Structure 1
Amino acid sequence: MDRQLSPVPPSPGPSGMSVHEVLALPVMQGSKLLAGGDGLDRVVGSVNVMEVPDVLPWVRQRELLLTTGYPLRAHVESDMAQWIGDLDDHGLAGLAIKLARYVDELPAEALAEADRRGFPVVTIPEDLGFDDVINQVLTIVINRRADTLARAEQVLQDLVGVVIEGGDLDQVCQGVVRHLARTALVTTMDGRVLAHAGELPARWADLPGFDPTGRFVVETEVPGVSVDFDGVHRLVARVTGGRADLGRLVLLREDPFTAEDNHVVGQATTAAALAITKQQAVAAVEGKYRADFLRDALLGRAGDAERVAAHAAELGWDLRRPLAVVVAEAEEAPDDDPVSRTLPERFRAAWERVAGADDETAAVAGFSQEVVVLLGVPEELDPAGVTERVRLMAGQVHGRGGGGRRAFATGVSRTITGLDDLPRAYAEARKAVQVGRRLHGARAITHFDALGVFRLLSQVEDRAELASFVAETLGPLADDRSEDAEDLRTTLTVLLDNNLNVASTARALHFHYNSLRYRIGKLERMLGPFTTDPRLRFAIMLALQARQLDHH
């Protein structure tokens, strides 16, 4: 998708008129464009008169500069082209000059520089009164500013009124669509869509600025820039509350966004910030209440099973069915991370949306960096099926930005059929998170039943004793710095996995049969007769597993 970027013109006020419109005024009859025709769409916000040689310190952006040419006599023969460049660099809208009185003509080099920069240079009639130009231009500019401010005020009253009357962020987006755009949506700081209105695609990924997972790429999409995607214009604006970035307002429409729209967009972001802040305050109170109850239930402190189930039903949770406890634990955020303060709430909200789509009566609560989901599962669904279901949900949370750019590990308990087992299931899910992260990395998704012997090894609190056992059992093979030891460990692991079948192991390792027999002999000289001693073989297998646990 091709795109062209152009900043929405900055301005001291919300409105103005183009150089082209100025030249069309009755007072400007007889004026001629000498150079800079590509800049006729530049916005004129005010008019200034120059009759002193050193005018640069006194000019402002978006001014149309009028002159009789008297101060230009010193520039005509020497640095007129440079002077034109200086005016453009200061952000002026253009230059209107009376020729023949003090300056007969402008040098070709100066006009060429104006053409190169798209800086309009106009010759005006000798008898034109500067006061007439100033009066007509400023009258139109001031009236337009008044209209724009009135429009912005109307938008603000409308959208803030929506929030005050109890409307949510979706209704704010609907108001923005009424006033400003074809499509409006609000995202979090990690790109998750919070609310939307207007014409929407089948998938978020089809919109400009969204990645394939449906997340708006906040970190690369620049606020305040109008982007043309094949005729669809998009504008991104910051939604701020106090000193914090709360998210982004994204607008789409067919027509380009203008400087006048910028002022109205500012009012829309104010209303969006108010709605988000209100929503966060309500969610914080409700979330704490729900989280406190669920934590008590997970720890066995909420009363008997029937009382817990009844209270959960009042919160919209169905706990009278087979359940699996899912624990998702995000990595700690760096202190300097700009979104770390809001991560827990965004993380919980993302899981709530995803889990709700999968199971609308699932219980979801957030505890700091941890989110717990009590997911309803059919009794007949095996651990692999439950794990796959949770894997799909975790993938959606990553895509929705709840974990955002921060990794999180997920643990799944065994399925329980009674709430009396809830504390045990919670402990299982937490253990699956801890061990799964150590074995498989920061985004591991691990079922408790898949832990196997690691479940027991992880219970050993004396890690030094465990390391001593590994060193004594594996001997030279425990050396992390030796490539030969690593090679032999691989051979040993595959041999044990193949139940000491030499032919199968040789095929798996792509070794000649005799080469493998030689290696087995070398391993037995190092470790002892493990091929004939089952107890030694068990100890070696346990040591290899313990080493794997401590090296992730």
Structure 2
Amino acid sequence: MSRPSSAVPGLTVRKAIEMPALQGARLLAGAGGLDGIVQRANVMEVPDILPWVKPHELLLTTGYPLRNTPQGLPALVTDLAGHGLAALGVKLHRYLDYLPEQMIDEAERLDLPLLLLPDAVGFDDIINQVLTGVLNSQAAVLERSWEIHHALLSVVLEGGGLHEVADKTSTVLDAPIFVTTPDGRVVAEGGDPDDLASWRSSACFDETGRFRTEYEPGGVHDHSEVPGSHAVVPVVAGKVDHGRIVAFVSHRELDDSDVNVLERAATVAALAVTKQLAITAVEGKYRGDFLRDVLAGRAGGRDHVVAHCELLGWDIDRELVVVVAELDPEEGTEPGPDLELRPVQERFSTAWQTVVARHDRQAPVVGFAQEVVALLPVPPGGDVSELVHDVVRQVSGDGGGGRRQFSTGVSRAVNDPERFPGAYEQARRAVHVGRQVNGFGSVAYFDSLRSFRLISLVQDRDELRGFVRETLHELAVEDDPEMADLRHTLKVLLDTNLNVAEAARTLHFHYNTLRYRIGKLERILGPFTTDPELRLDLALALKVLQMRGLR
């Protein structure tokens, strides 16, 4: 459940009744609303007060408008609560001798504080003191807000970034702070490490550690499955959405002043992001140009390349695999009409850089115009697939928050920078072939492509269609269920090297049933059980059909 926050904080009803003018007031009902905010005070001495009532208002009355119809007081309480009234103060003995029990019960039910005012106090004294308290409260909040803003701004001006902003905000609010991208990837955090880890495991984050921004709009939130409360504020510069800043607490309730602090922090965070983007754009272009030269084999000799990469913070003098990731051609989730996201490819590159850095800060990751290239170290155990799977999983998240689906290709392992160009081409080939074979979102390893690599080199689709039709005959018809069933039988037979008993077990057929199907297949295709060349053609035709179809 989310709770809206007011734009300007005020003082609470609880603090208001501690003022000298209200010290003799008695709370008749509505104690559950004592922490509501008072931002103004008014007097009700006309029957049609409702159009003039504003939220967070303390309303004072002698009951004059209802002196002849006290039975209307319970309904009045209901209407006033519906208008967001902070509290109702009533002075008796001039026009009303008592308040109906139904009125008191209704105020209790709606948590609307109902105050019995002292006879001697004047409404003007109450209004003056309440308004003074409101102004003092707002002035204190604004002064604190400015001090915090100045302190946070000094962090950035002194060279600090998002981590320093998060640390400073955490100190001010005494709460763990997360700064995320628009789709929820945590880019900075501040606070006690144990507290941060605890909140990361809450339902507000998915299993990849991504904050679920798609379910967390701005404001203060309470969730039944999450202890305490948390506040979310967008980080926006101009009309560009740069992310979110989130505060979590379990020992108290977050209020409007906390949100105000977060808004100040979000403004400074936007400045830090904009500054970092400008620096990254320059550095990224230089890094990208150099890595492009390395992958093209024109960056110089091995020793020069290794030394220059060390200056860039990269360690390439070890066994690595080249990984290429390309966005699939589909529409991504866009933000609301008032905000724009940074270019999709730029966000995609940033996501890869953030995730890879968690595994190895010395691994090169660069975003090009149409792809992201990463050089990942081969783990000690040699299990590259587990590392790649983990990175892809974290970049992908759980599919929410504005990400786009992408395909990934992985080269063979290389231990010499001079072999990077060949590995880069392997990874690019794996992306394209993997997408053709397995569809969007695939992860393909060059070594696993086998004959698909050769088929992918044939650009003449008419030639491929003709080969499939001439080889498979009626089995080439894709929209015929019977032919599709026979194709599956043929594939299992070829995969089992014509072992009829094993194929029958795989297909859950009786041995004689499969012998019958083999005869039917040979009548359509020819004597493939005795002709190895025909079997090779059939296997290739099935792979072509799997890879590209006949479209």
Same fold (TM over 0.5): yes
* Structure 2 CA distance for aligned equivalents of residues 381 and 147 of structure 1: 60
1:137 is the counterpart of 2:105? no
Task: Write out aligned runs for 1:66-465 (5 A).
Answer: 66-73=60-67, 76-77=70-71, 79-201=72-194, 202=197, 205-227=200-222, 232-253=228-249, 254-332=251-329, 334=331, 337-338=334-335, 341-377=342-378, 385-399=383-397, 405-465=403-463
Q: Which moved more, 1:151-160 or 1:307-316?
A: 307-316
Q: Which moved more, 1:196-205 or 1:508-517?
A: 196-205
Q: Which of 57, 63, 67 pairs up with 1:63? A: 57
- Residues 220 and 229, structure 2, Cα contact 8 Å, conserved in 1: no
Q: Which of 472, 475, 498 pairs up with 2:473? A: 475
- Residues 190 and 401, structure 1, Cα contact 8 Å, conserved in 2: no
In structure 1, give the amino acid aligned to 2:256.
Answer: A
How big is the shift at 1:359?
4.2
Change (3 A) 1:309 1:40: closer
* Structure 1 CA distance for aligned equivalents of residues 346 and 365 of structure 2: 12
Deviations 1:369-403 (A, max 9, x none): 5210123449x987xx4334322332333349999
* Structure 1 CA distance for aligned equivalents of residues 401 and 417 of structure 2: 29
Change (3 A) 1:292 1:451: same
Match of 1:122, SS state, is strand
- Residues 98 and 123, structure 1, Cα contact 8 Å, conserved in 2: yes
Match of 1:41, SS state, is coil
Change (3 A) 1:332 1:165: farther
- Residues 214 and 401, structure 2, Cα contact 8 Å, conserved in 1: no
* Structure 2 CA distance for aligned equivalents of residues 470 and 401 of structure 1: 37
How big is the shift at 1:230?
6.9
* Structure 2 CA distance for aligned equivalents of residues 357 and 250 of structure 1: 21
In structure 1, give the amino acid aligned to 2:372.
Answer: V
- Residues 331 and 404, structure 2, Cα contact 8 Å, conserved in 1: no
* Structure 1 CA distance for aligned equivalents of residues 256 and 354 of structure 2: 37
Change (3 A) 1:76 1:358: closer
* Structure 2 CA distance for aligned equivalents of residues 414 and 341 of structure 1: 33
Unpaired segments ≥5 residues, structure 1: none
How big is the shift at 1:279?
1.6
Q: Which moved more, 1:111-120 or 1:402-411?
A: 402-411
**Percentage of matched positions with identical amino acids:** 49
1:28 is the counterpart of 2:22? yes
Change (3 A) 1:236 1:359: closer
Deviations 1:417-460 (A, max 9, x none): 54444333222211101111222233322111211111011111
- Residues 8 and 258, structure 1, Cα contact 8 Å, conserved in 2: no
Quote the residue 2:517 is aligned against. 519
* Structure 2 CA distance for aligned equivalents of residues 260 and 318 of structure 1: 47
How big is the shift at 1:215?
1.5
Match of 1:499, SS state, is coil
In structure 2, give the amino acid aligned to 1:219.
Answer: E
* Structure 2 CA distance for aligned equivalents of residues 277 and 74 of structure 1: 65
Change (3 A) 1:357 1:59: closer
Q: Which moved more, 1:351-360 or 1:121-130?
A: 351-360
- Residues 476 and 485, structure 1, Cα contact 8 Å, conserved in 2: yes
How big is the shift at 1:499?
1.0
In structure 2, give the amino acid aligned to 1:127.
Answer: A
- Residues 328 and 410, structure 1, Cα contact 8 Å, conserved in 2: yes
Unpaired segments ≥5 residues, structure 2: none
Quote the residue 1:510 is aligned against. 508
* Structure 1 CA distance for aligned equivalents of residues 433 and 341 of structure 2: 25
CA-based RMSD: 2.7
Match of 1:511, SS state, is coil
How big is the shift at 1:169?
0.9
In structure 2, give the amino acid aligned to 1:45.
Answer: Q
Change (3 A) 1:113 1:135: same
How big is the shift at 1:515?
1.0
Match of 2:193, SS state, is coil
Change (3 A) 1:166 1:55: same
| Count of aligned residue pairs for this structure pair | 542
Deviations 1:97-155 (A, max 9, x none): 22232233444444333222122222323332111111222222222222111111110
- Residues 504 and 514, structure 2, Cα contact 8 Å, conserved in 1: yes
Quote the residue 2:43 is aligned against. 49
Match of 2:342, SS state, is helix
Change (3 A) 1:357 1:62: closer
- Residues 28 and 115, structure 2, Cα contact 8 Å, conserved in 1: yes
* Structure 1 CA distance for aligned equivalents of residues 190 and 441 of structure 2: 33
Change (3 A) 1:402 1:346: farther
- Residues 210 and 216, structure 1, Cα contact 8 Å, conserved in 2: yes
Change (3 A) 1:333 1:497: closer
Match of 1:461, SS state, is coil
* Structure 2 CA distance for aligned equivalents of residues 155 and 435 of structure 1: 54
* Structure 1 CA distance for aligned equivalents of residues 535 and 332 of structure 2: 48
In structure 1, give the amino acid aligned to 2:287.
Answer: R
Q: Which moved more, 1:470-479 or 1:136-145?
A: 136-145
Match of 2:509, SS state, is coil
Q: Which moved more, 1:246-255 or 1:105-114?
A: 105-114
* Structure 2 CA distance for aligned equivalents of residues 524 and 456 of structure 1: 27
- Residues 179 and 188, structure 2, Cα contact 8 Å, conserved in 1: yes
- Residues 221 and 229, structure 2, Cα contact 8 Å, conserved in 1: yes
How big is the shift at 1:320?
4.1
Quote the residue 1:550 is aligned against. 548
Change (3 A) 1:72 1:225: same
- Residues 327 and 429, structure 1, Cα contact 8 Å, conserved in 2: yes
Q: Which moved more, 1:406-415 or 1:457-466?
A: 406-415
Quote the residue 1:489 is aligned against. 487
